[in-house]
Amino acid sequence: MYRVLMSESDVFATIHTTRRDRGFIRDSLARLFVAVLLPLVLLVSSTAGKAHAALPLATVEGGPLPTLAPMLERVNPSVVNIATFTTVQVRNPLLEDPFFRRFFGVPDAPAQRRRTQSAGSGVVVDAVQGYIVTNKHVIEGANEITVVFSDGRVLVAELVGSDSQVDLAVLKVDPKGLKAIQFADSGRLRVGDFVVAIGNPFGLNQTVTSGIVSALGRSGLGIEGYEDFIQTDAPINPGNSGGALVDLSGRLVGINTAIFAPAGGNVGIGFAIPANMVKAVLTQLIAHGKVRRGYLGIEVQALNADLAEAFGASRTEGVVVVQVDTDSPAGRAGIQPGDVIVKLGDRNIDKLGDYRSQEAVVFAGGKLPVTVQRNGQSRSLILALDAWDGEQVAGQQISSRLRSVQLQNFRQPQNPDTSAGVLIAELANDSPAAVAGLRRGDVIVGVNRIAVPSIDKLREAIRNKNQPLLLRVYRSGEFGYISIR
């Protein structure tokens, strides 16, 4: 019989155990593990079901022990380190003052440039075409992206597309000699499943940590636009972003993207984007260079017991429709305020987070089945999805001079002067556009003397991504020109 807790006298006696006694205890514990505990581990692993892999065994000092080494040998070549290089302009505020320059006779001089470097991780998802998935924030604003493989190869990567709402980006490299990871069905994950995180924390290449799934469907964290995170206690640190979260079979269950770190380091709370969401988004990015989400045309709120009783719903959890745009897919399909959404696509809607995360993988041009409860009766409807004009696009995908800028289609029918254009939704203070004078909230209505009522027209007008840009901009009721060279 073994003690779980020891008194102070037990601890003192243990510390003063003779070397011979310690050797006897060590040998006894080793025999106990091989004879009793190891068969129990193997029995549990063999009966856990086909969906959950058993740990492989390695022979250590004459006895078999569980190990992850064979799985990692297969998976590590699919996980890469990503280095990004960004050139930023560094200006002295005094030299920006015309009076200062004139008083001291300082000639005009171009701003100094400084090259910065950052690191992250990525995962090879298509070995034939050379596609790698990572987090958008890993490559944000980068002028140059290089990928380092486990065998030491270094390749230059091209940005295919990114999605700020889910924080994913797809890169493309020379596909020669690549090995792609296998996707798991993240919908089958359960709290308590073992997972392994692989990445590049603090620049330490090919670092592996392990843990379990702590929670599923985490949302409302304010990290991304659409949140449906896998929470894990596998240690995740800066540099792990974009790396792989895999199951014991080495299949991808998520892309590591964020940590909860009140003290700046790992505290056992990490978040990963589920593999099913990753697969849906990267398909859009590869096909279109952006995500063309569908527009439903409804606003919802969380359902509670009082609302359920008021609307005659047989369930007290889920979401209820509070507003419907008449000229929208939902309006045309017959959805009404007060309808309780039970199912969206193939996903049951049990909470507001379920609805928001399903919105992330609803794309324009498709048909979306929706099940609602109305007056206690179930109804099945089909929505023909329109494109959502509010989707943001990274400016770097259109021109290097618009890097670190988020663009969004703009509509204002009531103002004939700016009925359509491209809104500056976000931009970094050190971006070329900001240095040239562009500001958040500006609306681009023309580029290089060509009208641009939409992002697609802006892309068409800029044939050469590196050409200087002459933007016609609407701001605070007035028009003006901004040149970005």
Residues 6 or more apart whose CB falls under 8 angstroms from that of 236 comprise 197, 199, 201, 209, 256, 259, 266, 270
Contact (CB, 8 A) for 191 and 214: yes
Are 135 and 167 spatial neighbours (Cβ–Cβ below 8 Å)?
A: yes
> Encoding tokens for residue 105?
């006779």
For residues 14 and 175, what is the distance between their CA atoms, to the nearest angstrom?
A: 59
Torsion angles phi and psi, residue 316, rounded to 5:
-115, 5
Nearest to 233, CA basis, from 260, 264, 206: 260
**Buried residues in 175-186 as b, exposed as e (16+ CB within 10 A):** eeebebbeebeb
HSE-up of residue 277 (Cα within 13 Å, Cβ side): 27
Give CA separation, 308 vs 121, 319, 380, in Å: 45, 10, 19
Listed in sequence order, the DSSP H helices in 127-222 are 136-139
CB within 8 Å of 217: residues ≥ 6 apart: 228, 229, 351, 353, 354, 357
d(CA 341, CA 359): 13
Catalytically annotated residues? 137, 167, 241
Residue whose pair of structure tokens reads 């398909």 in the numeric block = 283
Q: Which residues pair with 467 in a beta bridge?
A: none
> What residues are paired with 58 via a beta bridge?
65
In angstroms, the CA 237 to CA 216 distance is 20
Contact 473, 483 (CB under 8 A): no
Which of these, 293, 457, 282, lies nearest to 389 by C-alpha position? 293
Angular region, 165: left φ>0, alpha ψ -120 to 50, beta rest: alpha
